[in-house]
């Protein structure tokens, strides 16, 4: 694995396997250190295809190496509006299928933004409050959308944005169409942590794989910081790591 510096940004470049080992090492260290102090580790987690091999590696460490998630509290970045927890495309369900069902996390410690809140603004405020009450996110994992969104912070999302209800961009809906069997089935709205919420995390890591992400990763790491590419605001974070495979790094 290579460590490459781009201006103030640090990229870790390697195979998917190397990226996953390195990221899983960070998670494991945090969990074990906190456990030794009798404290919880607060993880910010992401969905999408990108982190799946990382989750598989964490499950493997749980099964084979005794890594316990009993002291983990998790906050997911986002959730589609209108998809209940039993909907297989809800991010709640995806997190359980790909990670939580296979480890010893306590269900009450798993947080995903609500999909069907009666009052979205209030629910968003409560999500923010829950993160604060937990002591803030220690380690936040991100993927990146084709137009530079993080969570569901689409183009136009400002640096100060907090958890809120958002409308999905056309490109995001198109990208999800296959998973939903057509664009017409993709939810039009979601609830997402804001850019500001994400930047409050003590450590932020963004994982990107494949050539399809190369251009947007470049614009995010090296371009001007602007709401046109919300991931560009990550340049501001003092403890930010970009974890890229050869395709995404280019
Ligand atoms: C969705 C999610 C993002 C994710 C992005 C990329 O928009 N809300 O959190 O980063 O998809 O997904 P993938 O990893 O499948 O490319």
Instruction: Please spell the DSSP secondary structure of 117-171, one letter per residue.
Output: -SSHHHHHHHHHHHHHHTT--SEEEE---TTS-BTTB-TT--TT--SEEEEPPHH
CA 48 – ligand 1 centroid, Å: 4
pLDDT given at position 140: 99
Helix (H) or strand (E) holding 173: helix 170-180
CA 150 – ligand 1 centroid, Å: 8
Kindly report the protein residue whose alpha carbon is nearest to atom 13 of ligand 1: 48
CA 47 – ligand 1 centroid, Å: 6
pLDDT given at position 155: 97
CA 51 – ligand 1 centroid, Å: 9
CA 37 – ligand 1 centroid, Å: 34
Residues 74-102: b if buried by 16+ CB within 10 A, e if exposed:
bbbbbbbbebeeeeebbbbbbbbebbbeb
pLDDT given at position 8: 86
pLDDT given at position 34: 98
Kindly report the protein residue whose alpha carbon is nearest to atom 10 of ligand 1: 143
**In this structure, what token pair is assigned to residue 138?**
């220690």
pLDDT given at position 4: 93
Closest among 46, 30, 20, 42 to 200, alpha carbons compared: 42
pLDDT given at position 157: 98
Q: Ligand 1, from 98, 149, 170: best to mutate by most atoms within 8 Å of Cβ?
A: 149
DSSP 3-state of 244 = strand
* pLDDT < 50: residue spans in the chain: none
Pocket of ligand 1 (CB under 6 A): 46-50, 77-78, 143-145, 151-152, 172
Angle between helices 52-65 and 16-36 (to 10 degrees): 50
Q: How far is C-alpha 186 from the geometric centre of its chain's CA atoms?
A: 20
**β-pairing verdict for 139-142 and 9-13:** unpaired
Q: Which atom of ligand 1 is nearest to 190's Cα? A: 8
Distance CA 178, CA 69 (A): 32
Q: Which atom of ligand 1 is nearest to 78's Cα? A: 8
Q: Which atom of ligand 1 is nearest to 144's Cα? A: 10
pLDDT given at position 218: 96
pLDDT given at position 6: 84
CA 100 – ligand 1 centroid, Å: 19
Is CATH 3.40.190.10 the classification given to domain 2-249?
no
DSSP 3-state of 229 = strand
């Amino acid at each position: 694995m290579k460590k490459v510096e781009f201006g103030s940004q640090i990229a870790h470049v390697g195979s998917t396997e190397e990226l996953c080992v390195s990221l899983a090492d960070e998670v494991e260290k945090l969990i074990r250190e906190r456990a030794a102090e009798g404290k919880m580790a607060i993880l910010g987690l992401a969905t999408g295809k990108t982190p799946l091999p990382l989750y598989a590696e964490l499950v493997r460490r749980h099964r084979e190496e005794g890594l316990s998630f009993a002291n983990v509290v998790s906050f997911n970045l986002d959730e589609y509006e209108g998809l209940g927890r039993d909907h297989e495309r809800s991010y709640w369900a995806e997190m359980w299928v790909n990670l939580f069902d296979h480890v010893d996390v306590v269900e009450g410690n798993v947080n995903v933004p609500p999909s069907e809140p009666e009052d979205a603004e209030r629910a968003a405020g409560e999500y923010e409050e829950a993160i604060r009450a937990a002591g803030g996110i220690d380690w936040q994992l991100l993927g990146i959308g084709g137009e530079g969104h993080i969570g569901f912070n689409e183009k136009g999302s400002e640096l100060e944005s907090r958890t809120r209800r958002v409308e999905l961009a056309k490109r995001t809906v198109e990208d999800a169409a296959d998973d939903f069997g057509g664009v017409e089935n993709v939810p039009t709205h979601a609830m997402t942590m804001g850019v500001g919420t994400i930047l409050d995390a003590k450590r932020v890591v963004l994982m990107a794989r494949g050539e399809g992400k190369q251009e947007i990763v470049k614009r995010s790491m090296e371009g001007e910081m602007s709401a046109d590419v919300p991931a560009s605001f990550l340049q501001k974070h003092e403890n930010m790591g970009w974890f890229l495979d050869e395709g995404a790094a280019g």
